Amino acid sequence: MTKIPVGVLGATGMVGQQYIALLADHPWFELRYVAASPRSAGKRYAEAVAGRWNATVKNIPSPAELGVWGLVVEDANDLGRARAAVQRGDLAFVFSAVELGKDETRALEAAYAAAGIPVVSNNSAHRWTPDVPMLIAEVNPGHTDIIPIQQKNRGWDRGFIVVKPNCSIQSYMTPVWALIQAGYGVRRLVVTTMQAVSGAGYPGVPSLDIIDNIVPYIGGEEEKSEEEPLKILGSIAGGRIEAAREPVISVHCNRVPVSDGHTACVSLEFGGRKPSLDEIKSIWSGFSALPQELGLPMAPERPIIIREEADRPQPRKDRDADKAMAVTLGRVRPCKVFDIRFTALSHNTVRGAAGGGILNAELLKAKGYLG
């Protein structure tokens, strides 16, 4: 099988580094193009990440081991260089992990798509663009059906934009969807997140702010966590994705002194029929979706893992489950205010960032949108 040549925009940042690590030896994609800010452009990748490689990303090899040490970093703003890479066969689509302002990111990603280069984005800039799908591959793969509409709306030929949602919702959206899909409507959620410092990106949270401390505020995070699930659970109508009206979600987001892994404590109220705890666990443990049916390389074999121990899941013990792509649940029990409560965990820079982006790209390829 001939591999599809791919690029990473924002390749020197934390999420960009994670993309590069996860793309090593990928059976479908081959990293051939890296781009970042103008200050990194023209440098060999090794020079561009000197002093920063593994600064915030753990458990990944060195650039030399990954075969990218000698790649020249391009300026992500230079579309001429990207077009040239396409023409010589070194680029078919890009993963976007740029660290720019929202307006700049929105314009840059649209420019790549307009140039015929599909964009699989980690950024929030296009999450609420009405005809841009915001994907969790196991939850709403059907939203890819809006891509031809998006292209028609803008006069784009091959290019398009697909985004993934905020990392803070990854741990509980798949379990919530599994219940909805099984016929149990969900009316309300109250969620408290405990989010790892790696989610803050590079250079991260100052050590004096987080050691021996919890920061009970992450700018914009609660709004994203309350609103993005509704678009994911929405439907395509009138050439746009219409957000669902339920569940109503209230979220408290906290930064905690954990390196990787976002934990969420969830209280859930059903909107009609109420399954037993045994039924809920059976739904979750048996859940499988299109990525598993298609055998996508980055897809976890078991999207949802349930731990029965009283003190699990824990980030250090459970975040790397099944390629760090599984959601691990525990403490499933009755709730005195709503119906059930549980604790959920996912790896924020893998499932919630680069790994989730790669899985979205695999889904797009399987559905005929890439290569």
CATH of the domain at 104: 3.40.50.720
Are 122 and 80 in the same domain? yes
> Is 68 within the bounds of a domain?
yes
Are 153 and 229 in the same domain? no
Annotation marks residue 265 as catalytic? no
> Is 296 within the bounds of a domain?
yes
Are 103 and 205 in the same domain? no
Name the token pair of 322. Answer: 């099944």
Are 200 and 136 in the same domain? no
Q: 170-227 pLDDT, tens per residue?
A: 999 999 999 999 999 999 999 999 999 988 776 667 787 889 999 999 999 999 999 9
DSSP conformational letter for 13: S
**What is residue 109's predicted lDDT score, i.e. its pLDDT?**
98
What does pTM read for this prediction?
0.95
Name the token pair of 272. Answer: 């009609």
**Would strands 186-195 and 248-255 be described as parallel, antiparallel, or unpaired?**
parallel
**What is residue 62's predicted lDDT score, i.e. its pLDDT?**
61
> Is 153 within the bounds of a domain?
yes
Are 230 and 333 in the same domain? yes
Annotation marks residue 167 as catalytic? yes
Are 92 and 31 in the same domain? yes
Are 190 and 326 in the same domain? yes
> Is 146 within the bounds of a domain?
yes
Are 208 and 109 in the same domain? no
**What is residue 70's predicted lDDT score, i.e. its pLDDT?**
83
> Is 45 within the bounds of a domain?
yes
User: Which member of 126, 167, 253, 347 is catalytic?
Assistant: 167
> Is 371 within the bounds of a domain?
no
CA 345, chain centre distance (Å): 14
Are 298 and 155 in the same domain? no
Are 157 and 208 in the same domain? no
Are 150 and 296 in the same domain? no
> Is 232 within the bounds of a domain?
yes
Question: Could you give the number of structural domains in the chain?
Answer: 2
Q: Give the whole-angstrom CA distance, residue 263 versus residue 254.
A: 10
Domain of 244: which CATH number?
3.30.360.10
Report the candidate in 291, 303, 292 with the shortest Cα–Cα distance to residue 171. Answer: 303
CA 142, chain centre distance (Å): 17
**What is residue 14's predicted lDDT score, i.e. its pLDDT?**
86
User: Which member of 126, 143, 262, 347 is catalytic?
Assistant: 262
Cα-based distances in Å from 80 to 76, 91, 105, 158? 10, 12, 18, 17
Cα-based distances in Å from 247 to 140, 149, 185? 16, 27, 8
> Is 86 within the bounds of a domain?
yes
Quick one: angle between helices 102-114 and 147-154, nearest 10? 90
Residues of the chain with pLDDT under 50: 55-58
Are 69 and 116 in the same domain? yes
Full domain range(s) for residue 28: 4-166+353-366
